[in-house]
Amino acid sequence: MTNDNTLISVQDLKVYFRSGHECARAVDGISFEIRQEETVCLVGESGCGKTVSALSILGLIQTPPGEIAGGQIMFQGKNLLELDEEDMQKIRGNRIAMVFQEPLTSLNPVFTIEDQIGEAISIHKNIGSGELRDCCIKLLKDVGIPSPVQRLKDYPHQLSGGQRQRVMIAMALACDPDLIIADEPTTALDVTVQAQILQLLKSIQETRSMSILYITHDLGVVANIAHRVYVMYSGIVTEQGNAAQIFHHARHPYTQGLLASLPSRSKRGKRLFSIPGTVPNPAYKPAGCPFHPRCPHAIPICGKEYPKMCDYGQAHLARCPVLFKNSHNPDKPEPKSI
């Protein structure tokens, strides 16, 4: 499955959180890969394990209560899960950087912008202080902050939300990483600002030729930015494929449900669809397919057997044997989406 240009590949990653006698299986065996210069989206409802997967790539899962129960994360030939803390630090921020969801709280309120950006650089690069300042200014310019020199001495609370997120991105870009993990970077922002940030990310990805792992629950964003998409549900990947495959030929009932609940012009005036029920508690997942209690196509076996990945070809996979069988049954027409 791994190509030569695979940057990072996560295989069968399991992250559990223990608390007392309970064990929340937040990530329960996911695999995905990101190639160089590619934007990959991880989509799913909140609580399905997207952020945990991202954090575990960076080794930021608190242990205890969290624990990596299995799997491997291969990054440039090394298994990140086996690296010790020191080596991991050399990768964090340097090779893999992350942009967080809440720019409001993700910047340290008591340090200036310069401190925070400069720190990321100085920790990984041997660089003089004058040069450092220039670096910071350049970075700020790159992410589109007006009059960066004045901004350097500002504290985060003096910036607007969009600007803060730009600073975050600047921080992530500081060491020219190979991979940026963006964890819902636009969720907390105004719609107009969202678009700007997305645009920024896109342009950065193109100009700097780096890979982005973009985590979101917003399919609109996915359509805008993604090369490939992984749909997650309750700690597992339910469907993967390129953007077109996911949007036009969704094979998994969950993906179909998600798409159905997207508002669009054609659905104007109709009641918006919603998937009934909620994501299961990660500590008490149903047996078999985790989606089966909410699934319109569920058959008894769904509650018993863990579903396998079914290959629809062209690297489009979905974890629903029921629909797979149906789609290969000539009697019934192929599921068709609008």
Partner 1 sequence: MNKKEKGFNKNFQLETPLAPKRTRLQEFWRLFRQNRLAILGLFIFILFFCCAIVGLFMTSGPDPLLDPAMIRLQEKLRPPLAKPNLDSLRREEIPYLGFYLMGTDDLGRDVFARMLQGAWVSLTVGFVAVGISVLIGIFMGGIAGYFGQHHIRVDHVLVTLVLISGAALVTANFIRSGAALLCLTPAYIFYFIWSQNRSGKKTLPLWAKVFRKNAVSIDTLIMRIVDIMLCFPSFFLILTVVALLPASIYNIMIVIGLTSWMGATRFVRAEFLSLREQDFVAAVKTLGAGNFRIIFRHMMPNAMAPVLVSATIGIATAILTEAGLSFLGFGVPPPHATWGNILSDGKNFIFDAPWLTFIPGIAILIVVLSFNLFGEGLRDVLNPKLRERH
Partner 2 sequence: MISFIGRSVIQKIITLFFVSIVSFLIIHIAPGKPSQVDPMNPKFTPEMVERFQKEFHLDKPLHVQYLYFYKDLFTGETVSWKDNQSVLKKIWERFLNSLPLFIVGTIITWTLSFPIGIRSAIFRGQFYDRSATFLSYLLISIPGFFFAYVLIIFVVNQFHVPVIGMETFGIGDGASLPYIFMDRIWHLLLPSVLGATGGIAVLSRYVRSQMLEVEGQDYIRTAWAKGLPPEQVHYKHALRNALLPFVTMFGLILPGLIGGSVIIESIFSWPGMGRMAYEAILARDYPVILTVNFVSAVLVLAGTFISDLLYLVVDPRIRL
List interacting residues with partner 2 (CB under 8 A). 55, 58, 60, 64, 85, 88-94, 97-98, 100-102, 105-111, 119-120, 123-124, 155, 157, 168, 171, 174
- Shortest distance, position 155 Cβ to partner 2, whole Å: 4
* Interacting span for partner 1 (CB under 8 A) from 116-124, 143-151, 284-292, 326-334: 284-292
Binding of partner 1 by 296 (CB under 8 A): yes
Crossing angle (nearest 10°) for helices 191-208 and 161-173: 20
Q: Whats the size of the chain, residue-wise?
A: 338
Q: Which does 91 bind (CB under 5 to 8 A by kind): partner 1, partner 2, none?
A: partner 2
Closer residue to partner 2 (CB): 174 or 189 = 174
From candidates 23, 88, 195, 260, binder to partner 1 by CB under 8 A: 260
The Cα-based distances of 154 to 50, 102, 114, 151, 158 in angstroms read: 33, 19, 8, 5, 6
From candidates 2, 199, 206, 277, binder to partner 1 by CB under 8 A: 277
Structure tokens at 83: 């690296």
Q: 101 with 183: CB under 8 angstroms?
A: yes
Closer residue to partner 1 (CB): 223 or 262 = 262
Cβ neighbours of residue 242 closer than 8 Å, sequence gap 6 or more: 226, 227, 228, 229, 314, 315, 316
Q: Write the interaction track for partner 1 spanning residues 26-65; mark x where CB under 8 A is met and - where it is not.
A: ---------------------------------------x
- Shortest distance, position 268 Cβ to partner 1, whole Å: 13
Q: 38 with 228: CB under 8 angstroms?
A: yes
Sheet holding 39-43, edge to edge: 96-99, 179-183, 211-216, 39-43, 228-233, 236-242, 317-318, 310-311
**Binding residues vs partner 1 (CB under 8 A):** 19-20, 65, 256, 260, 267, 273, 276-278, 280-281, 283-286, 293-298, 338
